[in-house]
Structure 1
Amino acid sequence: MKVLLVEDTQELALWLGSALRKMGLDVTLASDGNEAAHQLYDHDFKLVILDLNLPKRDGLSVLQEIRARKDFVPVLILTARADVGDRVKGLNAGADDYLPKPFDLEELDARVHALLRRSPQMVNSIESYGAISFDKSNGSFFCKQDLISLTPRESKLLEILFERKNRVVAKDFLHDQVFQSEPAAVDAVEVLIYRIRKKIHQGMGCEIATVRGIGYILRIEA
Structure 2
Amino acid sequence: MRLLLVEDTADVAEAIALSFARAGDTLDCAFDLKQARSSLSLQQYDVLILDINLPDGSGKDLLRELRRERNTTPVLMLTARLGIEERVASLDGGADDYLTKPFDLRELQARVRALHRRSPTVRDTVVEFGSLVIDVAGKTLVCNGQELTLTRREFSLLEALLDRRGRVASKEHILNRMFSFDEADVGTNAIELYVSRLRRKLSGSGVSIRTLRGLGYQLVDEA
TM-score bracket for this pair, using the shorter chain length:
0.5 to 0.7
Deviations 1:73-92 (A, max 9, x none): 00001121221111100000
Q: CA deviation at 1:38?
A: 2.3
- The alignment of Structure 1 onto Structure 2 pairs a total of residues equal to 166
Report percent identity of matched pairs. 37
Higher relative contact order (CA 8 A, sep 6+): 2
Amino acid at match of 2:138: D
Deviations 1:169-215 (A, max 9, x none): xxxxxxxxx99x97x9xxx96xx47xxxxxxxxxxxxxxxxxxxxx5
User: Matched residues in 1 for 2:38 and 2:87: separation?
Assistant: 25
What is residue 68 of structure 2 aligned with on the other side? 68
Map 1:76-155; keep pairs closer than 5 Å: 76-123=76-123, 127-129=126-128, 134=134, 141-142=135-136, 145-148=137-140, 150-151=150-151
Deviations 1:4-61 (A, max 9, x none): 0000001111111111111221111100122212221232111100000001121000
User: Matched residues in 1 for 2:156 and 2:69: separation?
Assistant: 37
The 4+ residue runs of structure 1 with deviation greater than 4 A are 152-160, 215-218
TM-score (norm 2): 0.62
Could you say what the CA RMSD is over the residues aligned between the two structures, in angstroms? 3.6
TM-score (norm 1): 0.62
Secondary structure in structure 2 of the residue aligned to 1:61: helix
1:46 aligns with 2:38: no
Secondary structure in structure 2 of the residue aligned to 1:5: strand
Structure having the higher Rg: 1
- List runs of 5+ in structure 2 lacking aligned partners: 141-148, 166-191, 208-223
- List runs of 5+ in structure 1 lacking aligned partners: 135-140, 164-177, 194-214
1:37 aligns with 2:29: no
Amino acid at match of 2:94: G
